Amino acid sequence: MRRSLIALACAATIAAILPQPSRAEKLVIAIGSRGYGQVVPHDIEGFTKANPGISVDWLKVSDVPNQTRQLYVTDFTSKSPTPDVFAMDIIWAGEFAKRGWLAPLDSYMTKDDLSKYNQSFLTAATLNGHVYGAPLYLDGTHLFYRTDLLEKYHLQPPQTWEELIKDSQIVMNGEHNPQLYGFVSMWAKIEGLFMNWLSFTNANGGGFYNAAGQVAVNSPANIAATQTMVDMIYKTQIAPKSILNDKPDDARTLFQQGRAVFLMVQDFVYDPLNAAGSPVKGKFDFMRIPYFAGHPDAHTTAMGGFLLGINPNSAHKAAAAKLVAYFTSHEAELWAALNANRAPGRPDVYKDPQIAHAGILPKLGADFDVGLVRPSGATGDLYPQVSEIMQLEVTKALHRQVPVKEALDSAQKQIEALLSK
Amino acid sequence: MPAMTVLDRRRHWTGGGFVLPTILLIALVLIYPVLVSVVQSFGQSDLGGTAPYRFVGLQHYIEIAGSAHFWNALGVTLIFAAGSVPFELVIGIGLALLMNESFRGKSIARLAVLFPWALPTALNALMWRWMFNSDYGVFNAVVLQTHLASRPIDWLGEPTLAMTSMIVVAVWKTSSFMALIILAGLQAIPGELYEAGRMDGMTRWTEFREITLPLLRAPILVALILRSMDALRTFELPFNLTGGGPIDTTESLSLYAYKEIFAYLKFNSGSALVVVQFLVVFAMSVIYIIALRRRD
């Protein structure tokens, strides 16, 4: 009796596990729930209504980027057919494409479709002329500043780094408060430091590549910009030495406690800074990252964000492409902007009259017009090592362990050797 | 030895049968990955498995020997182990002796001593990172308010200070582990020995040197080996406390291998690193065992 019960239970379990025969195509989409939690069900509902033959499951992946990356690495090395569609950090796109873990989108989308996305962002997902990801949402670095302090000293928000340094000194000298710093940011040896360095160097007409597209880390413009960073700690002394340990949230905490005039981090800090009870609520604003005098056209907003890509081993790539197009459509990204404060990856959404109801997003969007991306597209699978070399050498310079030129020369040499392998 | 009866033999097989699943499981999750790591360290393979495994001999090991990163990480690891384990031992013995005395509130004291050990290392590290924070950490608040320093001290931002801070956290956490093992050893020492010693007119110091310490040799050896192994493999502490910084002055071997394998996905050279690390730990264990055996 007992045996037959067990057999029955086993049979029932197996029947439940076995795939049900069905004509509907079933897709799995992997996205983290933070910030996009209410958008995903909404988009899935809209998509399945428009495409009755396709059903979509949401795989909620971790919001800790490294954990999600490891999950994907495991899935793709074992050639798993799911998830069919997955959200990836902008800096993974080049690497994944290079390793053959992404299906090119250009076979499913027209040039016209692809031209609707933020083009600067798209370069991070472009390898050998093929596009491998569609921008889902953007985030980026901005300059946050204390409106009350600037007003007190009759200062305008600084457009250039030269002005920012001068303004910081004016406020610091005027306040006589040893606890008040001019400038704080995320200069710990993390990815955010590399983003900072790219903002500074691009602001001076430099950058990771030169005009010919070659790696030019140790260009004179870059050396001068990096020297300005070093001087901000030791010479002009507007930044505390502890900036070299600060991660985004450490810097945000200082600014929120009223201990800094300027803060340069990503836009996620806006909500906590503006929350009820925040000491700086109503006393701050933000703007694009400054440029160096003479370079008003420089792109200085270091962009991050997520893209949607298609698993090359998916059994339903055409359906997956439809899902990607739907999630990154004008309507879907507008809805995410209005309901979840996610900055759209399509410039046309910022021109939509409805976007005026999306709080600070139109303002954020303007800063993305001067957006820059990290060299993760072209360096592909080697990007994590490129970033590590840059973080290490720039840190050495910021600690004054070696002169700026020596650090950047060394970085240039190491990166050239790495990329020529 | 008498011949096995049928019953004995059957019991024998039954026992083996019960143990077999465990052995298989261990082989699957422990021995197999270790073997794969060793094999990977001598070859070059593609992550996706598109290119077949190619034997490259010692190539990865030669690269490691020529890598400044590796020597830095090895140096950091050895300094950390040499800086933390002796302090842990001395403090551990002290704590064990204290806990072995009888006094009021002894069980509470024992609990308090065990507390740091009970907390996960990662949590410890995050907690201390806040306390060390140069701008709003408790240490600088004390140091500044008592005028011991006029400017905030960058506890985790200066190379020597960062390593010292890391050692302090390790000592704080693991002295209690040492104490626990040594306490077990202390309680196994028969009281008669001390009585005899007292009759011979021993002072407490000679008692400690002539009775306690020699009889504690085995537990001390065990504690030393376990702690040194842990110190040579330290990962969560630098990962969470300093992130290997400033620059790379607290980047331990494990942290370096982690980056190599999980950030750069270089499984082959990463495996070679792990094998080298294993050899370092193994050599250390052998040295300990020989050194302590020779004295007997």
Cβ atoms of residues A127 and A98 within 8 Å? yes
Tell me the shortest Cα–Cα distance from B104 to chain A, in angstroms: 44
The verdict on residue B2 lying in a domain is no
Peptide bond into B219 cis (omega under 30): no
CA pair distance A393, A407, nearest whole angstrom = 5
DSSP-derived secondary structure for B167-220? HHHHHHHHHHHHHHHHHHHHHTS-HHHHHHHHHTT--HHHHIIIIIHHHTHHHH
A189/B247 CB distance under 8 A:
yes
In a domain, B54, yes or no: no
Mutate one of A245, A379, A389, A401 to test the B interface: name it (highest B CB count within 10 A): A245
Domain of B157, CATH number, reads 1.10.3720.10
Query: Quick one: closest CA in B to A401, which residue?
Result: B247
Looking at the complex, does the CB of residue A395 fall below 8 Å from at least one CB of chain B? yes
The pLDDT-based confidence of A9 (bands split at 50, 70, 90) is low
Query: Is pLDDT above 80 for B6?
Result: no
Contact between residue A151 and residue A282 where contact means Cβ atoms under 8 Å apart: no
Is pLDDT of A219 > 70?
A: yes
Contacts A385 to B, Cβ<8 Å:
264
Query: Is B15 among the domain residues?
Result: no
Nearest CB neighbour to B243, from listed A101, A189, A257:
A189
Distance CA A399, CA A98 (A): 35
Contacts of A189 in chain B (CB under 8 A): 243-247
Q: Does A381 touch chain B (CB under 8 A)?
A: yes
CB contact under 8 A, A66 and B262: yes
* Residue numbers in B near A384 (CB within 8 A): 263-264
CA B133-B135-B138 angle, to 5 degrees, is 55
With an 8 Å Cβ cutoff, the interface of chain B facing chain A consists of 47-50, 133-136, 152, 154, 156-157, 243-248, 259, 262-265
**How many angstroms away from the CA of A204 is the closest CA of chain B?**
25
Q: Which residues of A touch B265 (CB under 8 A)?
A: 73, 381
H or E element in which residue A418 lies: helix A404-419
Residue of B nearest to A78 (CA): B48
Q: Are B156 and A245 in contact (CB < 8 Å)?
A: yes
- Closest residue on chain A to B162 (Cα): A245
Q: Please tell me if residue A392 touches chain B, with a CB cutoff of 8 Å.
A: yes
CA distance to partner chain A, nearest, from residue B153 (Å): 9
User: A220 at the B interface (CB within 8 A)?
Assistant: no
Residue of A nearest to B261 (CA): A70
Chain B CA closest to residue A383: B264
Q: Helix B159-187 vs helix B106-118: angle between axes, to the nearest 10 degrees?
A: 130
Give Cα separations from A129 to A94, A109, A307, A375 (angstroms). Answer: 12, 14, 17, 15
- Structural domains in chain A, sorted by start: 24-138+303-376 (3.40.190.10), 140-300+380-419 (3.40.190.10)
Contact: A188, B47; criterion CB under 8 Å: no
CA distance B84 to chain A (A): 23
Cβ atoms of residues A344 and A334 within 8 Å: yes
Per the structure, the complete domain to which residue B270 belongs is given by 67-294
According to the model, what pLDDT value does residue A37 have? 83
Q: Which pLDDT belongs to residue B263? A: 84
pLDDT value, residue A21:
46
Above 70 in pLDDT, residue B280?
yes
Q: Residue B61: inside a domain, yes or no? A: no
Give the number of beta-carbon pairs within 8 Å between A and B: 67
Query: CB of A402 within 8 Å of any CB in chain B?
Result: no
Which residue did the predictor score with more confidence, A303 or B292? Answer: A303
Domain count for chain B: 1
Q: pLDDT grade, residue A178 (50/70/90)? A: confident
Q: Scanning every residue of chain B, which has its alpha carbon at the shortest distance from the alpha carbon of A398? A: B247
Report chain A's mean pLDDT, rounded to a whole number: 90
pLDDT digits (tens, 9 = 90+) for A265-324: 998 899 889 989 999 999 999 999 999 999 999 999 999 999 999 999 999 999 999 999
Residue B293 has pLDDT above 90, yes or no: no
Higher-pLDDT residue of A128, B291: A128
In the prediction, which pLDDT does A217 show? Answer: 97
Question: Which tens digits make up the pLDDT trace of B13-30?
Answer: 888 888 999 999 988 998
CB proximity A401 to B under 8 Å: yes
Establish if B40 belongs to a structural domain. Answer: no
β-strand pairing of A134-146 with A130-131: unpaired
Q: Which residues of B touch A77 (CB under 8 A)?
A: 47-49
ipTM of the complex, rounded to two decimals: 0.77
Average pLDDT, chain B: 88
